[in-house]
Structure 1
Amino acid sequence: MIKLAPSLLSADFAALLADIEKAEKAGVEYLHIDVMDGCFVPNITVGLPVIESLRARSCLCFDVHLMIEDPDRYVERFIAAGADLVTVHVEACRHLHRTLSHIKEKGALAGVALNPATPAAAVEHILHLTDLVLVMTVNPGFGGQEFIPEMLPKIRQIKNMLAARGIDAELQVDGGVNPSVAPDIIAAGGTVLVAGKSVFGAPDVARAVEELRKSAAVT
């Protein structure tokens, strides 16, 4: 079954809890939380206090995407704050094998993300340590961008790598995801859709989630 991960980046920051509750009632599987430091990407978003506060009010799987430099310094603190899944960028990790192992040792699921310019081969050697691989289909930093269709072959390539090794990791796709592009993403091998504007930017979150699920089922 295809899983949905609405992105907090596109929610109403004056009513975060209300938006999260709408998504939770609509049956989504994850809450995708982008953490940006203004260095690795040109934007700053939420951090530890927000995650800690929301954790006490939501049962969703907190999918924390660290778009920060030197993520090793903060991994333990984000897990302690309530992250169920921590995804780090291959581009930001000096010792990726160690970072992913550390995440798992601390009791969270481990994910690795690739920016559009990073080839699939960059994560081939650590796939056995991952619970999730995230393919960015926009250049990270801001919500509401257009999907980059040239990323579809990369999704297929990573799907084939996982299958060839018998690795049962989720393949998450983040960036410009909406009902129009969802069928192509699923056909390429994506299993988790991160959707920001198309869910939290919609007038009716429940209907937006339903439309995204329906479109993902058409492959």
Structure 2
Amino acid sequence: MTKLLCPSMMCADFSNLKEDTQKLDQAGIDIFHMDFMDGRFVPNFGMGLQDFELVRSVTEKPLDVHLMIEEPSKYVEKFADLGADIIYIHPEADQQVTRTLDTIHQKGKKAGIAINPGTSVEMIQELLPLVDYVMVMTVNPGFAGQKYLAYTDPKIEKLVALSKTYEYKVMVDGAISPEKVEQLSKKGVTGFILGTSALFGKTESYEEILMQLRK
């Protein structure tokens, strides 16, 4: 099974964002992952629209947008128009989540849901036929550098099993180390959001790291 390796651009070198994006692109990443936060749904602020536009301007690779914000429905069209390929929303943050997922599809984009550690599969099961990606948060969202929450593993296994019926891809985000990539890909996870645990701030080049992770 092909692994999707997706750098979390919140962890990139912001003093050289253009150059860092080009290096990641050339190293062979699959999807650029971009976090947007409003300080309300999660207690932090993420990237800005200008960062998104810069990354979009220097790569042809797919870009995903992870909207960790209240009322994501207000922003999905904006990000679709800016060139996002995949848009993740949190069902916990949207009053009309099925309508928002429909809007994403109407804009010709892939729709994803991101699920907080405390949200059960049962709470989102009705949405599974409507999405292309399900991203399980394996830390509490909002900050890089946290510890992996092992209690999310049974939820990942359930979602992998259900993906055979509904045909979405299972992604994981939060403290994803090389060991976690190996363990979780064996369980059937397709995509890995990579931050400081596996990709950024290392002595090896991006090419070397990605080659190791693909093994």
Q: Out of 22-31 and 205-214, give the one that drifted further.
A: 205-214
**Superposed CA offset, 1:26-55 (max 9, x none):** 111100001111111111111322212321
1:183 aligns with 2:170: no
User: Contact 1:62 / 1:83 at 8 angstroms: preserved in 2?
Assistant: yes
Q: How many residues align?
A: 212
**Superposed CA offset, 1:122-162 (max 9, x none):** 22101111010000000011112121122111111011122
- 2:208 is aligned to 207
TM-score (norm 2): 0.95
Q: Quick one: distance in 2 between partners of 1:53 and 1:27?
A: 19
- 2:157 is aligned to 156
- 2:129 is aligned to 128
User: Contact 2:18 / 2:54 at 8 angstroms: preserved in 1?
Assistant: no
- 1:217 is aligned to none
Alignment gaps of 5+ in structure 1 = 215-219
Q: Percent identity?
A: 39
**Superposed CA offset, 1:192-219 (max 9, x none):** 01011121222322222222222xxxxx
TM-score (norm 1): 0.93
1:195 aligns with 2:197: no
- 2:8 is aligned to 7
**Superposed CA offset, 1:88-118 (max 9, x none):** 0111111111111110001111000100000
1:98 aligns with 2:99: yes
Tell me the amino acid that sits aligned with residue 90 of structure 2: H
**Superposed CA offset, 1:50-70 (max 9, x none):** 212321211110011001111
Q: Quick one: distance in 1 between partners of 2:177 and 2:210?
A: 10
User: Contact 1:41 / 1:68 at 8 angstroms: preserved in 2?
Assistant: yes
- 1:26 is aligned to 27
- How far is the alpha carbon of 1:81 from its aligned partner? 1.1
User: Contact 1:116 / 1:136 at 8 angstroms: preserved in 2?
Assistant: yes
